[in-house]
Amino acid sequence: MFAVLKTGGKQYKVASGDVLRVEKLAASAGDKVQFNDILLVNNTVGAPFVSGAGVQAEVIDQIKGPKTINFVKRRRKHSSARKKGHRQQLTLLRITEILEKGADKSGVMAAVSGAGVAVAAVAPKKPAAKKAAPKKEAAPKAETKKAAPKKAAPKKAAASEADNLTQISGVGPVIVKKLNDLGVTTFAQIAAWTKDDIAAMDEKLNLKGRIERDDWLKQAKKLAKG
């Protein structure tokens, strides 16, 4: 007895005892599989499949086919070439029985999605029920500390205490703001600068020697005296 079955988009003529390589099936070595898409059994032709027919087989192993090389080269001004290798995933089967009628498609066998193949179903073991862990007693909530009253921020010096530093030649509003941020607000402070202070301020304010060039110290002394 022989049959023609369909799997993986291909058709195979098989007889009992044949060893067959087909497109990879979702099965492991030793599993029993049944092909339900049977096109022909002996002289019975299906339309398109033979009703009630089936081919049963045993999975021997999951293997790979021979390596194939795909090489593409384009003959152009800016030519390109591409080389790819491929090994097809295959399932090695041994045909055990051909059923012309009475193939069970829903009993012992559980159908694999859309492949016309059924694999012997094995009931999964139920995991042992885990014992519920005893609930921990909630720890007593720590007493919330009262927020300490915020200290009032020190008041800024009155506007009348600060000098108008823009009276110094070469000092504009932008430089005045930077000086105020550094704590310099009066002519007297500038008049008291040392050489180290001048060098430090020149670097911080990126003035490139303007302090000495415009002689801020001399101007600040005059303005401090009024």
Per-residue pLDDT reduced to its tens digit, 125-153: 555 666 666 666 666 565 555 656 565 54
pTM of the model: 0.45
Reply yes or no on whether the pLDDT at 176 is more than 50.
yes
Residues 4/12, Cβ–Cβ less than 8 Å: yes
Residues 91/23, Cβ–Cβ less than 8 Å: yes
Separation in Å, CA 120 to CA 28, 31, 50, 61, 103:
11, 7, 21, 16, 13
Q: Please provide the average confidence, as pLDDT, over all residues in the chain.
A: 79
Coil, helix or strand for 205? Answer: helix
Q: How confident is the model at residue 74 (pLDDT cuts 50, 70, 90)?
A: confident
Reply yes or no on whether the pLDDT at 213 is more than 90.
no
pLDDT on residue 124: 46
pLDDT on residue 116: 62
Q: How confident is the model at residue 121 (pLDDT cuts 50, 70, 90)?
A: very low
Per-residue pLDDT, averaged over 103-109, amounts to 55
Helices 173-181 and 195-205: angle between axes, nearest 10 degrees:
120
Per-residue pLDDT, averaged over 79-107, amounts to 86
Q: What are 66's two structure tokens?
A: 């021979």
